[in-house]
């Protein structure tokens, strides 16, 4: 994950006596590596969403905690050929003529009810756009056996359209997926003309694919950007003030239905998955345990990793930028939770 690699590199510059090694894997593999009873509790898993209840019930995993690190986004990406769709805005990343799509239209695509790009439902959202009379080739960004990979995007579809909540099994289970390490496969499926799917914003930026504008809960069509993720962080901070304490403290916060006009959905929190108790006899190296805690405390600090997370392409820190036009009068509750969790990790004395 680019976020982990970026934070690890910046932390080494801050603490030259400590090196954090980042490797790429799926959410399930990251959890297994961090929780495995055979590990010396020297591994942090970083992934989308939080550890599932079933995972926490596995042997040796009950004390795993989820420390929020940053915000990310899951844009809808597509590949339509032709000069009209290939043109980019200033900076060369954002399509000059992005398609507009809704969760309802995407559900119809995924259920096989919309099969061609020039379907009237898509055309109504994109007047004047030269949509091709070509079949839509859907693909699936998640990895097999990974409940977290589908969670954010599926939750966004389900909250907007009851047809997706009723879909069993989820139609995309047989579609082309990412490779086993969570990366986009070279040339396929995104390399195929007329493909449609979703990926993390970081992956989309790296692959330089076409990114759609999606209608958010406020009814506004937006695409992800640094500014949109900052607005999403501000909307999350505001929403947390109205949530029950038990929901806030559970860390299981949904970012798929934030109603701020400039927030992007579906967005998600990136969590570090780590043993709360790094000071057990199982830990063969107390120095490693201390280094992990120090790294996480730095990662969620406003003066440390949160500034660095905001500079990793495709991610933002947990809170809106000061002086960036966002209402920051309210406390940034999610970072307060992250700081409390990181500080609470126990290590051998």
pLDDT in the model for residue 50: 53
Tell me which of 168, 194, 223 is where a domain ends: 223
pTM for the complete prediction? Answer: 0.82
Tell me which of 200, 223, 246 is where a domain ends: 223
Q: Which CATH number goes with the domain that contains 132?
A: 3.40.190.10
pLDDT in the model for residue 159: 85
Residues 262, 210 within the same domain:
no
Residues 323, 341 within the same domain:
yes
pLDDT per position as a tens digit, 274-298: 888 876 645 457 788 888 889 999 9
Residues 31, 54 within the same domain:
yes
Count of structural domains within the chain = 2
Residues 212, 96 within the same domain:
yes
pLDDT per position as a tens digit, 108-127: 998 889 999 999 999 999 99
pLDDT in the model for residue 115: 93
With tokens 């959410």, the residue in question is 27
Residues 180, 296 within the same domain:
no
Share of the chain above pLDDT 90, in %: 15
Largest Cα–Cα separation, the chain: 67
Residues 248, 316 within the same domain:
yes
- Give dist(CA 85, CA 213) in Å, integer: 13
Residues 83, 64 within the same domain:
no
- Give dist(CA 40, CA 286) in Å, integer: 10
- Give the structural domain span for 313: 2-71+231-347
- 10 Å CB burial of residue 274 (0-12, 13-18, 19+) is buried
Tell me which of 223, 245, 280 is where a domain ends: 223
Task: Calculate mean pLDDT across residues 52-66.
Answer: 72
Average pLDDT value over all residues in the chain:
76
């Amino acid at each position: 994950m680019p976020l982990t690699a970026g934070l690890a590199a910046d932390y080494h510059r801050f603490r030259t006596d400590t090196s954090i090694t980042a490797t790429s894997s799926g959410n399930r593999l990251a959890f297994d590596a961090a929780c495995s009873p055979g590990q010396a509790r020297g591994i942090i898993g970083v992934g989308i969403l939080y550890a599932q209840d079933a995972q926490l019930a596995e042997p040796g995993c009950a004390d795993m905690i989820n420390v929020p690190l940053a915000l990310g986004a899951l844009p809808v990406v597509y590949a339509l050929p032709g000069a009209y769709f290939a043109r980019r805005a200033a900076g060369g990343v954002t399509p000059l003529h992005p398609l507009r799509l809704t969760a309802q239209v995407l559900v119809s695509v995924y259920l096989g009810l919309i099969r061609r790009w020039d379907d009237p439902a898509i055309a109504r959202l994109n007047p004047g756009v030269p949509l091709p009379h070509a079949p839509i080739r859907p693909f699936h960004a998640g990895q097999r056996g990974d409940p977290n990979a589908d969670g954010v995007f599926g939750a966004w579809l389900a909250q907007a359209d009851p047809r997706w909540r009723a879909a069993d099994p989820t139609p995309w289970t047989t579609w082309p997926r990412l490779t086993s390490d969570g990366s986009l496969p070279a040339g396929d499926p995104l390399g195929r003309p007329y493909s449609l799917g979703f990926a993390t914003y970081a992956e989309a930026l790296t692959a330089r694919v076409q990114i759609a504008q999606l209608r958010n809960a406020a009814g506004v069509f937006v695409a992800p950007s640094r500014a949109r993720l900052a607005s999403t962080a501000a909307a999350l901070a505001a929403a947390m003030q109205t949530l029950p304490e038990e929901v806030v403290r559970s860390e299981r916060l949904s970012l798929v239905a934030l109603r701020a006009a400039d927030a992007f959905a579906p967005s998600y929190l990136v969590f570090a998955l780590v043993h709360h108790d790094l000071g057990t006899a199982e830990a063969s190296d107390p120095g490693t345990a201390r280094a992990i805690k120090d790294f996480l405390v730095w990662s969620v600090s406003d003066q440390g990793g949160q500034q660095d997370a905001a500079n990793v392409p495709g991610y933002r820190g947990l809170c809106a930028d000061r002086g960036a036009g966002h209402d920051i009068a309210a406390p940034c509750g999610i970072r307060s939770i992250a700081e409390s969790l990181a500080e609470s990790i126990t290590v051998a004395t």
